[in-house]
Amino acid sequence: MSATAPLASDPRDDDATTTVRTTIVGGVGTVRIDRPEAFNALDTVTKNALLAALTQVAEDPQVRVVVLTGTGRSFCAGEDLRSHATALLSGAQTLADTIDAHYNPIATVLATMDKPVVAAINGIAAGAGVAFALAADFRIMVAEGGMNLAFAGIALSCDSGASFWLPRIVGMAKAKEILLLPRTLPAAECAALGLVTSVVPAPEFDGAVAQLAATLAAGPTLAYGAMRRALAFSATHTLEESLANERALMDRTGRTADHLAAVNAFVAKQPMVFTGS
């Protein structure tokens, strides 16, 4: 089931029957996994809805920053094992099928959209839920939250970009430890390892997320997107190739309305106002 966002001026949630809710307010597109009774685990309906919602906000010019979060005590518990067991026993779907149809596209849109992404980790993230959070640019975690790369506990490898992001953040040796000996890393340890941007007490969590999202929504959206692309490109290319890519992205952003307005504001000693264009 796909999610359909309301108008930017309308903070209403989607249809109450969906498991993913999208709101767009003030340039902030919030995508919320809404299965608190299942710790926001991902069954097929939810995976389809999440991919549709993220694709929608990625393509919507009214959205200048995306926030991914969950309802209740969990951010996202990864694959719904009850749903997976049914599919496994029936032979209706293999893991490769759902990776092709759901997990890889979700990870890709999170990592490559031309606008910044904030993971508002409102509780425990596990499995693919951790990988989705790691694909974001900023990760704000509630003090009671944590991360568990739980794949080995159910005799699986890792997916959704976990093998890509984890060693880049914590180093190869620590990534192997976290994956091969899974446990729930508490918020303080996540912060110490660089897995999260900040840890915030529960009463301050929503405000901290809103403040960061508002700051990003008021910024140069296309420049943010170009920086995301530059960093992703440089991770797998040579210096020479990265310099050429930077030139192309600088040329692109140098032609934007935001850059022209910023230069004029600087010369006139006036405040800079970005429109995201």
- Going from N- to C-terminal start, the domains of the chain cover 20-217, 221-268
The pTM of the full predicted model, rounded to 2 decimals, is: 0.90
pLDDT in the model for residue 86: 72
Q: Which DSSP string do the residues of 144-197 spell out, in sequence order?
A: T-EEE-GGGGGT----TTHHHHHHHHH-HHHHHHHHHS--PEEHHHHHHHTSSS
- CA distance readout (Å), 190 to 78, 143, 196: 18, 10, 6
Specify the 3-state DSSP secondary structure of 271: coil
What is the pLDDT at residue 12?
33
- CA–CA gap between residue 103 and residue 117 (Å, rounded): 17
Segment (H or E) for 243: helix 239-254
Under 8 Å between Cβ of 271 and 237: no
270 burial class (0-12, 13-18, 19+ CB within 10 angstroms)? exposed
Handedness of CA 95, 96, 97, 99 (dihedral sign): positive
pLDDT of residue 85: 65
Same fold, 20-217 and 221-268: no
Residue 206 to residue 202: CA distance in whole angstroms: 8
Q: Which of these CATH numbers, 1.10.3470, 3.30.1070, 1.10.12, 3.40.50, describes 221-268?
A: 1.10.12
Taking the domain 20-217, which CATH number applies?
3.90.226.10
Residues of the chain with pLDDT under 70: 1-17, 84-85, 87-93
Q: Which two tokens stand for residue 60?
A: 């919507």
